[in-house]
Chain A
Amino acid sequence: MHMHPNVIYKKETPILLMKSRVGKFKGKSMSAILFIEQMLNGLQFGVMLFLMAAGLTLVFGVMGLINLAHGSLYMIGAFAAAAVAAATNSFLFALAASLAVAAIAGVLIEATIIRRLYKRDHLDQVLATFALILIFSEGTRWIFGSFPLFLDRPDYLAGTVALPFGIEYSLYRLTLIGVGLAIAVGLYLVIMKTRIGIRIRAGENDREMIGALGVDISMLYTLVFALGAALAGLAGALIGAIQSVQVGMGEPVLILAFVVIVIGGIGSIKGALIGAILVGLTDTLGRFLLPQFFSLFLENSTATSVGASLASMSIYILMAAVLLIRPKGLFGGA
């Protein structure tokens, strides 16, 4: 709708009222409170990325599969939640639906398609799951139409809470941080302490071995895939409540989740958590600090624009830097 190039014809400077109204908001906003609030924002973003990245990294670690369609499961979770929330008015039902529907979708595609890809090379996996994105995106649009859906956080999580040092922070975002960290702990316990977890770890280390041990591999694979799908679906619903539930919402998140697992080291849950928080903080603080940094020596409009450009590239620069120092990510296998 609204994008105009001032490319070929330089526009005249806005005629009327563009005087020196800049410069008033430079130094002051860098207060400590704002900085802490931005750290919380970065943490919240990172924790949600972790929910996406955990499934991705598990599926890769155990089955050796690159799943581009992971973002579609995020979208499916959000749409399922929006549909159920509209019908029942209950946020908890909506979350349950997001988990269930995404897990079912995960089981279905695992059993029909994904299973055939485990032994293929990465190239085939990339193409097949790219094809799945096309099918899921347009299929969702076919069912739900072309307009974004409504999904809101429940009223009991509305508003802000007062934290120490006079920080006022969104209750819902604080809840997201709590839920995300709880899931991280839960996942850690499942993988370290349960039989399923032992098998998953065995699968990561030596795929042939666990077959020899008499574990039903295809069952285990389906389970791992469903778990990853359910986490992605839950993330979609939780985030959908404060963002926009629309077709294609999974793609930007998917790319970020890949950045996360590559930084963390593919297959490592711990790496996914640390990578996610690193990416969350880098992105949030980059967007916040870089424009201020450039405004130290550039005119304000230019500074915000240059700073914003660099901020949008910051996580990719972070990823390239990590890989140059540690080509297998921070916690990647030997």
Chain B
Amino acid sequence: MKLKHILMAACAAMISTSVQAEDLKVGMITTLSGGGAGLGIDVRDGFMLAIEQSGRNDIEVVIEDDQRKPDVAVQLADKMIQSEKVDVLTGIIWSNLAMAVVPAAVAQDKFYLSPNAGPSPLAGKACHKNYFNVAWQNDNLHEAAGAHANAAGHKKSFILAPNYPAGKDALTGFKRFYSGDLAGEVYTKLGQTDYASEIAQIRASGADSVFFFLPGGMGISFLKQFADSGVDVPVVGPAFSFDQGILQAVGEAALGVKNTSQWSKDIDNPTNAAFVESFKAKYGRLPSLYASQGFDTAKLLISAMDKAKVTDQDAFRAALKEADFASTRGDFSFGSNHHPIQDIYVREVIKEGDVYTNRIVSVGLENHADAYASQCNL
């Protein structure tokens, strides 16, 4: 549980002798073991890359593995706050873990910067002045998929997602923007790996397109089986089934599929180009959207440190709110509820040499903010 890499930025030798009072201590709780480890590792690597590039030696990062278990995450947060006395918490991948940790952490006057999860309560009524989301509100990518379905002229979509809160919100998010008819709406079992039954229903329904939200291994299975089913209609999904880590496992079955993301490796700005290059050089693989989120989270933190001391909470918060950093996404700003206002792109899966990756084909939603901001009293 105590994956205690105490990683000190830049020069490790100096630290043991000179821990200064104004050092900022970050607690990163993320998933590093088990099935979902790929996401946590990407967030961690992106985050640490930005810290390293900043050349600062006044940031200390404590990293621990939550094993994707909510009770372990809660326990680690207690430890980081009580024993490690961190100033800022970050790293959580999954919304259910975020809901277990974030409200208690911000209530204890810690800052929390979310590099991935964006559950709707934290964007709406349970928003908090010390909580900043650097990724997206959970519905955003599905909303963009709905908008894309309209633009692509889909009139009769078949939609499916696992039967759990995020799955229901995904379908709701899609329907919030989609204006055509539904050929069917199906909830699958969480963790399901065989979709023959659902694909048969898609075939029988006469759908002209499919929207699916099946993160991780579920998406890999669905795409491979769908490609092999002979059902020839366009598929749209959020980037969670098309990130760099899993695309290689889907292979050819994903080619040409449209997916929505706030980041892509071909977003044209110098920060992004440098990020993709340096990530590849350091870790020997292409970054995923999770890595870009980790990177941006660290950049945001560093930008605030340049302006204020973390001990001066009000000033530090104001500095975070300005989001005065060069994001890999280009334009980036926070809405009133501390969630991103950003473009969401439609990407297409392509093959570059031997590697499957994405390229941007259009902008799904421009300067998109989430649907819950009005419920937040900040």
Contacts and interface: CB of A to CB of B under 8 A. Distances in A.
A334 interface: no
Nearest to B103: A8
Contacts of B224: 152, 241-244
B182 A24 contact: yes
Interface stretch (A36-44, A94-102, A205-213, A320-328): A36-44
Contact of B245 (A7, A16, A147, A242): A147
Contacts of A3: 94-96, 117, 119, 138, 164-166
A248 B31 CA distance: 15
A148 B176 contact: no
Contacts, number: 226
B85 to A, nearest CB: 29
B200 A41 contact: yes
Interface string B214-233: 01111011001100111000
B187 A304 contact: yes
A246 interface: yes
A249 B217 CA distance: 9
Contacts of B322: none
A301 B170 CA distance: 13
Interface in A1-18: 1-9, 11-12, 14-18
A141 interface: yes
A322 B243 CA distance: 43
Contact of B187 (A141, A159, A305): A305
Contacts of A148: 38, 216-217, 220, 245-246, 249
Contacts of A305: 163, 168, 187
A247 interface: yes
Contacts of A143: none
B173 to A, nearest CB: 8
A14 B139 CA distance: 11
Most chain A CB within a 10 A radius of its CB, from B41, B177, B204? B204
A168 B166 contact: no
B251 interface: yes
Interface in A273-312: 284, 287-288, 291, 300-301, 304-305, 307-309, 311-312
Most chain B CB within a 10 A radius of its CB, from A4, A249, A305, A312? A4
Given A17-B176, A152-B251, A244-B220, A2 B166 contact: yes
Which of the four size classes fits the interface of chain B? 35 or more
Interface in B165-210: 165-166, 168-172, 175-179, 181-191, 193-194, 196-198, 200-201, 203-205
Nearest to A292: B201
Interface string B107-124: 000000000111111001
A242 B371 CA distance: 37
Contacts of B189: 287, 308, 311-312
Contact of A159 (B119, B169, B230, B249): B230
A9 B193 contact: no
B353 interface: no
Given A6-B165, A159-B230, A11 B120 contact: yes
A45 interface: yes
A149 to B, nearest CB: 6
B120 A4 contact: yes
A201 B190 CA distance: 39
Interface string B319-333: 000000000000000
B340 to A, nearest CB: 15
A312 B186 CA distance: 13
B193 A244 contact: yes
B39 A1 contact: yes
B35 interface: yes
A150 B251 contact: yes
A25 interface: yes
A15 to B, nearest CB: 7
A38 to B, nearest CB: 6
A245 interface: yes
A9 B125 contact: yes
Contact of A16 (B177, B185, B203, B221): B177
Given A150-B251, A152-B251, A9 B121 contact: yes
Contacts of A252: 191, 193
Contacts of B166: 1-4
A300 B252 contact: no
Interface stretch (A26-34, A117-125, A178-186, A192-200): A26-34
Smallest CB-CB A-B distances: 3 pairs: A4-B119, A3-B166, A244-B220
Given A1-B93, A9-B121, A11-B372, 18 more contacts: A1-B94, A4-B99, A4-B118, A9-B125, A15-B371, A21-B175, A29-B205, A37-B203, A38-B200, A138-B33, A148-B217, A152-B224, A168-B203, A168-B230, A170-B225, A246-B217, A287-B189, A312-B163
28 contacts: A3-B94, A4-B119, A5-B165, A11-B120, A11-B124, A12-B375, A17-B179, A33-B204, A37-B200, A37-B203, A45-B196, A137-B34, A168-B230, A170-B229, A243-B220, A244-B216, A244-B224, A248-B35, A249-B217, A252-B191, A284-B197, A291-B186, A301-B171, A304-B185, A305-B187, A308-B163, A308-B187, A312-B190
